[in-house]
Amino acid sequence: MKKYHFYSIPSTGFLALFFMITAPRVNAQTVTIPINTDSYTLLLQTDRNNILKTVYFGESWSAGAVPDRYRVGNGVSGDVPNAVYTPSGTWSLSEPAIQLTHADGNMSLELEYISHSTKDVDSNVRLTGIVLKDPVYPVEVTLYYKVYMKENLIEQWAEIKHNEQGDIKLQKYSSADLFFTESDFYLTTFHNQWANEMQPNESRLTRGTKVFDSKLGARAMLLQTPDFILSFGRPASENEGMVILGQLAWSGNFKLEFEIDTYHNLRFIAGINPYASEYSLAPDQTFTTPSLIYTISGNGTGEASRNMHDWARKYRVLDGEGERLTLLNNWEATYFDFDENKLTGLFKGARELGVDLFLLDDGWFGNKYPRNNDRAGLGDWQPNVKKLPDGVAYLVQEAKKEGVKFGIWIEPEMVNPRSELYENHIDWVIRQPERPEFYFRNQLVLDMSNPEVQDFVFGIVDGLFTENPELAFIKWDCNSVIYNAYSEYLKKNGLPQSHLYVEYVKGLYKVLERLRAKYPEVPMMLCSGGGGRADYELLQYFTEFWPSDNTDPLRRIFIQWNNSYFFPSIAVDNHVTNWGRQSIKYKVDVASMGKLGFDIRVDELSENDLLFCKEAISNYHSFKDIVWHGDLYRLVNPYENDIAALMYVNEDKSKAIVFNYLVNNLAMNTNTTNIKLNGLDAGKQYSVKEINLYPGTNSRMSAGQIYSGDSLMKIGLDPGLNQRRQSVVLELTEVDN
C-alpha cells in the first residue's frame, strides 16, 4: 500500500524529519485548476501526494507563476489544512468535509485527484467538474464549480457515489470546503426570531470554530439563516474591502463552520447539517449536495449585493427578470373572520386602490373542523361551506368583475391534529407513535419523504388550478418546525430514520418540480411565518418571498436593509398594514422598496390617506421597473445614523429613485449632512423631483432643480428629513445637457 509524504515542512523539527524518513514520495505530476470569475481566481493545485488543495484565492492576475500563498505549514500533525474536500480517517485530523463508513465497516477515506473537465455553458457560465477518488475503496467524489463570470459568483456542490458491495453510510457530506489566508476575518451572520428577522451579527473570527446551524427540519431558518458575509482584513463596509457574500441554498437543516486554525488560516465548510442525518448510499445511487453560492467583491458589500442580485434575477429566482403583481391581502384586515360577502366587499377596495390582485389568506377551508382559528382544519383543503358557499370559483369571478386577479393562501406541508387529514392518514404525519405529540402553532408536519404525501401536496395545488384556471397567485406558507422526527413511511420501507430530514426537503423539491413543469409561470410567494424560509434552492420555484410578519415600517426598514444584502427587491414582498404608528405615507414609501402590497381595510382609510395611496400606487407603477430590475445602492446605514437612505438606478443610468427615512424619533436635526448618491453617470444631468407627497403638503426640494451626476455623488443633496417630514422619495430623471 502506498504511503504519503507531506512535503511542506514547517521547520526542520523532529516530526517533520520523521515523516521524511518513513514515507516515500509519490511525486505525482502537478495539476493546476483555475476557477476564474471575471475578476477573481480560486486556484486549485495537486501536491506530490496527488491531493488537490486551494493554493490561492483573490484577485486574478494577468500572467505568470502561481503565487506561493497557501503553501502553509502542514503542521506537526502532518495535516493538509487546505485540501479542497477534506476526508477523514486517514491523514487528516482536521474537521472533515466528508465522513463515511464503507460497506465493510471501515471508516477511512482518502481522496486523490483523478481528472477534471471544464465546459462553457454559455459565454458567461463555465462549469468545472473535478473527480477525486479513494485509491483503496471504490468511492468517488466529483466537485462542481459553476462560475458566473460577470457576477463574480461561484456555485459549488459535490456528488458522491461508490461501487462497493453494499451501502456506504455518509456521516458528513458537505457542499464546499474553502480555505483562506488573511491577517483577520470578520464574519456577519443573520439571526431570526418571528417578527424580528434578519438581525445581523458581525464579529472578528478568533481561533477555534464558529458554527451556525439549524436543526429545525422545516421552517429551518426560524432562528438563524444560512446567509453570510465574510470580510477580509477589516469589518465589512459598503464600498471598500474584499468580501465574500453568500448562502447555502438548502431549505432544511444546514451547518456553516468557520474555523480559524492554529496557523490563523480560515477553513469554511458548508453543507447539510449532519445532525441525525447519516445517509445510506446504495452502489447505484449518487448523493448530490446542495449548492454553496457566493459572490466575491473587492469593493465591499454594495458591489457584492449587486452581483448577487444580478445573478439571482438572471439565473435563479423564478421569472427574476419579469413582472410582479401588486396586491391587497386580507390577513391582517380580517384574520380568520370573513365570509364571501366580506371578501367581495374587500375586492372593491383592491380596485379602488389600483392593485393587480386580491390575495385570500388563511381560513378559507375545513368543514368538519372549520379553520376559524389556528387550532383546526389544516390539511382539509375544501372550501368552508359556511364562509364560502359558492366556493373559490365564485371568488375568482367576483374579483374579475372588479378588474382584479385572485390569489390564494395554502400551507400544504402541514396538518392540525384536529383535521380529517389527521384522522384518515395519521401515518402521513411526522410524529413518534409512542410519544406525546409536540406542537408548533398547534400543528404537525406531513412526511414529505413519503411519495403519497408528495402526491397529496401536488394535488392540493393542482386541484386549485384545475378547478380555477384563472387563479393567478399562490402564497405557500410553512409555520412549523419538525418535532419528534419519525417517518412511518421510511420504517415501512426499511429505510433508515436518519434519512428523514434530507428526504423531507428532497420530497418538497420533487413536488415543486412537478408543479412548475405543469404551471411554469404562476407567481408564488414563499412564506414561512415570515422569514423562516428564504433560500435560493426554493426560490427557483417561487417568484418572491415574505420576509417577515413584522410590517411596522420602522422595523421593516432594517429587515429590508438586511435582506437586500442577498436578495433583489423584485423577490421581496412588503405590505402596508396597521402595524406601526408611522403615517400611511411612511408605510407606503417603505413598502415600495420591493414588491408593494397592502393588507388594510381600504374602506377604513381617511379620504386623504386613500388619495395618497392611490397616487403612490400609480407612482409605484411608473418606477417599479427601476426597483425590480435596477441596481441597488445602500447610501446611509440606519444602524449607524438617524436616517436610512437607499437608491435604485436603472441600467442606462437615466432614471433613479432615492428613498430617505428618519429612523430615530428623537433626532432633532438631520439636515447637516448631505446624502451622497451613488451609481449615477457623473457626466449626466438629472432633474430631481420629490414624489409621493401627502395631499396638502409641499415639497421642500426646489422644483425642477437640475444637478450633475458628479455633484450628486460628490456633494450629495439634503432631502430635508425632520420629525414632520420623516420619509422622502426622490425621482431623478436624466435631462439633456
Q: How far is the CB of 574 from ligand DGJ (least distance, A)?
A: 12
Figure out which of the listed residues 50, 449, 479, 660 binds ligand DGJ, where binding follows CB under 6 A: 479
d(CA 485, CA 231): 37
Query: According to the binding rule CB under 6 A, does residue 359 interact with ligand DGJ?
Result: no
Please state, in angstroms and rounded to a whole number, the distance separating the CA atoms of residues 602 and 649.
32
Question: Binder to ligand DGJ among 346, 527, 647, 675 (CB under 6 A)?
Answer: 527
Q: Which is nearer to ligand DGJ, 162 or 371 (CB)?
A: 371
- The C-alpha atoms of residue 47 and residue 722 are separated, in whole angstroms, by 63
Report the nearest approach of ligand DGJ to the CB of residue 374 (Å).
6
Instruction: Single out the segment in contact with ligand DGJ by CB under 6 A; choices: 61-69, 295-303, 394-402, 524-532.
Output: 524-532
In this complex, which beta carbon is closest to ligand DGJ, that of residue 340 or of residue 362?
A: 362
Residues 398-427 that bind ligand DGJ (CB under 6 A): 409
Among 79, 95, 340, 362, binds ligand DGJ (CB under 6 A): 362
- H helix runs in 430-582, sequence order: 451-467, 488-492, 500-518, 553-563
Q: Which of 81, 349, 530, 638 binds ligand DGJ (CB under 6 A)?
A: 530
Distance CA 92, CA 257 (A): 17
Name the residue among 134, 133, 154, 135 with its Cα closest to residue 144: 154
Closest CB to ligand DGJ among 156 and 548? 548
Q: Which is nearer to ligand DGJ, 50 or 479 (CB)?
A: 479
152 binds ligand DGJ (CB under 6 A): no
By CB under 6 A, name the one of 477, 537, 552, 734 that touches ligand DGJ. Answer: 477
User: CB neighbours of 448 closer than 8 A, spacing ≥ 6?
Assistant: 413, 454, 457, 503, 504, 505, 507, 508, 511
> Using CB under 6 A, which of the segments 109-117, 523-531, 639-647, 713-721 binds ligand DGJ?
523-531
Length of the chain (residues): 737
Q: Count Cβ atoms within 10 A of the Cβ of residue 178 and give its class: 0-12 exposed, 13-18 middle, 19 or more buried.
A: buried
**Residue range at the interface with ligand DGJ (CB under 6 A); choices 207-215, 318-326, 522-530, 626-634:** 522-530
Measured from the CB atom, is 380 or 642 closer to ligand DGJ? 380
Strand 265-272 versus strand 254-260 pairing type: antiparallel
CB of 646 to ligand DGJ, least distance (A): 24
CA distances from residue 174 to 96, 157, 219, 645 in whole angstroms, order as listed = 9, 8, 21, 39
Q: Which residue lies nearest ligand DGJ, judged by its C-beta? A: 362
Specify the residue, 300 or 530, whose C-beta has the smaller distance to ligand DGJ: 530
Q: How far apart are CA 120 and CA 129, in angstroms?
A: 12
Q: How many residues bind ligand DGJ (CB under 6 A)?
A: 11
Q: CB 320 → ligand DGJ: shortest distance, Å? A: 23
What is 392-432 written as a DSSP string? HHHHHHHHHHTT-EEEEEE-TTEE-SSSHHHHH-GGGB-S-
The residue (of 295 and 550) whose beta carbon lies closer to ligand DGJ is 550
Question: What whole-number distance in Å separates Cα of residue 316 and Cα of residue 543?
Answer: 10
Is the separation of the CB atoms in 41 and 35 below 8 Å?
yes
Q: How far apart are CA 237 and CA 246, in angstroms?
A: 16
Rg (the chain; Cα; Å) = 28
Residue 593 Cβ vs ligand DGJ, minimum distance, rounded to whole Å: 19
Binding of ligand DGJ at residue 529 (CB under 6 A)? yes
Which grid coordinates are listed for 171?
A: 456521516
Q: Which is nearer to ligand DGJ, 441 or 506 (CB)?
A: 441
| Nearer to ligand DGJ (CB atom), residue 178 or residue 408 | 408
> Nearer to ligand DGJ by C-beta: 313 or 387?
387
Distance of closest approach, residue 363 Cβ to ligand DGJ, in angstroms: 8
Q: Which is nearer to ligand DGJ, 548 or 582 (CB)?
A: 548
Residue whose CB is less far from ligand DGJ, 507 or 547: 547
The amino acid sitting at 287 is F
**Nearest residue (CB) to ligand DGJ, 243 versus 478:** 478
Query: Near ligand DGJ by CB under 6 A, which window of 69-77, 107-115, 388-396, 525-533?
Result: 525-533
Binding-site string for ligand DGJ from residue 91 to residue 130, where x marks contact by CB under 6 A and - marks none: ----------------------------------------
| Closest separation in Å from C-beta 641 to ligand DGJ | 30
In SS3 terms, 471-482 reads as CCEEEECCCCCC
Q: How far is the CB of 33 from ligand DGJ (least distance, A)?
A: 45
Decide if 53 contacts 71 (C-beta within 8 A): no
Q: Identify whether the C-beta of residue 713 lies closer than 8 Å to the C-beta of residue 678.
A: yes
Instruction: Give backbone dihedrals phi and psi of 622, rounded to 5 degrees, phi first.
Output: -80, -25
Cβ closer to ligand DGJ: 428 or 546? 546
Q: What beta strand segments (E) does 77-215 contain?
A: 98-101, 112-120, 125-133, 139-148, 153-162, 168-181, 185-191, 199-204, 208-213
The CB-of-534 to ligand DGJ minimum distance in angstroms stands at 12
Chosen residue from 151, 310, 340, 361 binding ligand DGJ by CB under 6 A: 361
* CB of 159 vs ligand DGJ, minimal distance in Å: 36
Looking at the Cβ atoms of 315 and 542, the one nearer to ligand DGJ is 542
Residue for cell digits 436543526?
215
Q: Tell me which residue has cell 425590480.
A: 628
Q: Is 331 in the site for ligand DGJ (CB under 6 A)?
A: yes
Q: How far is the CB of 441 from ligand DGJ (least distance, A)?
A: 8
Give the interface segment with ligand DGJ, choosing from 98-106, 377-385, 485-493, 526-534 (CB under 6 A). Answer: 526-534
Q: Tell me the three state secondary structure of residue 104.
A: coil
Does 197 participate in binding ligand DGJ (rule CB under 6 A)? no
The minimum distance between CB 366 and ligand DGJ, in angstroms, equals 13
Site for ligand DGJ in 615-674 (CB under 6 A): none
Are the beta carbons of 395 and 364 closer than 8 angstroms? no
C-alpha to C-alpha distance for 293 and 304, rounded to whole angstroms: 12
In this structure, are residues 402 and 469 in contact, taking their beta carbons and an 8 Å threshold? no
Interface region with ligand DGJ, contact rule CB under 6 A, candidates 178-186, 202-210, 527-535, 704-712: 527-535
- Residue 546 Cβ, how far from ligand DGJ at the closest point, in Å? 6
CB of residue 362 vs ligand DGJ: minimum separation in angstroms?
Answer: 4
Measured from the CB atom, the residue of 113 and 331 that comes closer to ligand DGJ is 331
Quote the least distance from Cβ 530 to ligand DGJ, whole Å. 5
492-499: list long-range contacts, CB under 8 Å, 24+ apart.
495/280, 496/278, 496/279, 496/280, 498/276, 498/277, 498/278, 498/279, 499/277, 499/279, 499/280, 499/449
Of 132 and 220, CB closest to ligand DGJ? 220
3-state secondary structure of 350: helix
Place of cell 358557499: 389
Closest CB to ligand DGJ among residues 362, 552: 362
> Which residue is it, cell 464574519?
187
Q: Site for ligand DGJ (CB under 6 A): which residue of 238, 398, 549, 642?
A: 549
Positions touching ligand DGJ (CB under 6 A) are 331, 361-362, 409, 477, 479, 527, 529-530, 546, 549
